[in-house]
């Protein structure tokens, strides 16, 4: 009797293996054969789910962006003062910089090829963060003269800027705790009334 395979779960496993391989080998050094080996399957089986690297990369990036959006949305819904939630969000983002840096070349390649595709993603992130900033402005704990969208863009830009610099000069940002603490303090200072 043929084995029934959950194709959604299998694709998820393949993307998990791809994430690990891209992190270890880099984008240019990774082929589908490497991903198949890491996923514990033959190449022909992998091709059934992902006929080419582009389709795998597209789904992997979709997962990464969805994870970041979910992180923003979850923190936005958490209880607590808005500034505390923003600080928690910045700390969480700093905590995943290492993983994102490993996949950074892949993301940069995709950003450079089709920046428009990322517009809805960044708009969504800015919207979540701007909502927290507005709530903080209403309670008086965040500077009421700040434009919430621009302040949100500035905070996101700081995290993305560290990510970009981490890609270019990994040794400069080896102390993850220091990066996290500095980003959280900078966010607090930027938003304080």
CATH number at residue 12: 1.10.10.60
Same domain flag for 178 and 93 = yes
Residue in 90, 55, 111, 107 with CA at minimum distance from that of residue 179? 90
Percent of the residues in the chain that have a pLDDT greater than 90, as a whole number: 56
Cβ atoms of 136 and 83 closer than 8 Å: yes
**How high is the pLDDT of residue 3?**
66
pTM: 0.81
Same domain flag for 100 and 69 = yes
**How high is the pLDDT of residue 82?**
96
What is the domain range of residue 92?
61-191
Cβ atoms of 177 and 150 closer than 8 Å: no
How would you class 121 by CB atoms within 10 Å of its CB: exposed for 0-12, middle for 13-18, buried for 19 or more? middle
Cβ atoms of 71 and 90 closer than 8 Å: no
Counted domains in the chain: 2
Tell whether the model's pLDDT for residue 44 goes beyond 70. yes
Cβ atoms of 99 and 23 closer than 8 Å: yes
Same domain flag for 10 and 80 = no
The Cα 92–Cα 31 span in angstroms is 31
**Binning pLDDT at 50, 70 and 90, where does residue 15 land?**
very high
Percent of the residues in the chain that have a pLDDT greater than 70, as a whole number: 98
- The H-assigned helical ranges of 51-118 are 53-77, 82-95, 97-113
Same domain flag for 37 and 71 = no
- How does pLDDT run across 129-141, given as a tens digit for each residue? 999 999 999 999 9
Same domain flag for 35 and 65 = no
Cβ atoms of 160 and 121 closer than 8 Å: no
The Cα 44–Cα 178 span in angstroms is 45
Average of per-residue pLDDT across 115-127: 89
- How does pLDDT run across 148-160, given as a tens digit for each residue? 999 999 999 999 8
Most confident of 30-34, 80-84, 103-107, 115-119: 80-84
Residue in 106, 156, 101, 100 with CA at minimum distance from that of residue 128? 156
The Cα 138–Cα 37 span in angstroms is 54
Q: What are phi and psi of 71, to 5 degrees?
A: -60, -50
Same domain flag for 119 and 167 = yes
- The H-assigned helical ranges of the chain are 7-25, 32-39, 43-49, 53-77, 82-95, 97-113, 119-139, 148-168, 176-191
Tell whether the model's pLDDT for residue 1 goes beyond 60. no
**Binning pLDDT at 50, 70 and 90, where does residue 117 land?**
confident
**Binning pLDDT at 50, 70 and 90, where does residue 108 land?**
confident
Q: How many CB atoms lie within 10 A of CB 162?
A: 21
């Amino acid at each position: 009797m043929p084995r029934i395979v959950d194709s959604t779960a299998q694709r998820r496993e393949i993307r998990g293996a791809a994430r690990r391989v891209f992190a270890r080998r880099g984008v240019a050094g990774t082929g589908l054969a490497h991903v198949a080996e890491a996923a514990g399957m033959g190449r022909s089986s992998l091709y059934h789910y992902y006929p080419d690297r582009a389709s795998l990369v597209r789904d992997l990036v979709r997962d990464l962006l969805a994870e970041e959006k979910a992180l923003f949305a979850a923190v936005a819904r958490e209880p607590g003062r808005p500034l505390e939630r923003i600080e928690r969000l910045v700390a969480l983002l700093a905590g995943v910089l290492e993983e994102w840096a490993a996949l950074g070349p892949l993301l940069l390649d995709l950003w450079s090829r089709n920046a428009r595709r990322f517009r809805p993603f960044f708009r969504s992130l800015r919207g979540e963060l701007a909502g927290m900033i507005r709530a903080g402005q209403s309670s008086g704990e965040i500077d009421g003269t700040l434009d919430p969208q621009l302040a949100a863009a500035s905070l996101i830009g700081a995290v993305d800027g560290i990510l970009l610099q981490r890609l270019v000069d990994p040794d400069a940002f080896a102390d993850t705790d220091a990066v996290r603490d500095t980003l959280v303090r900078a966010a607090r200072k930027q938003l304080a009334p």
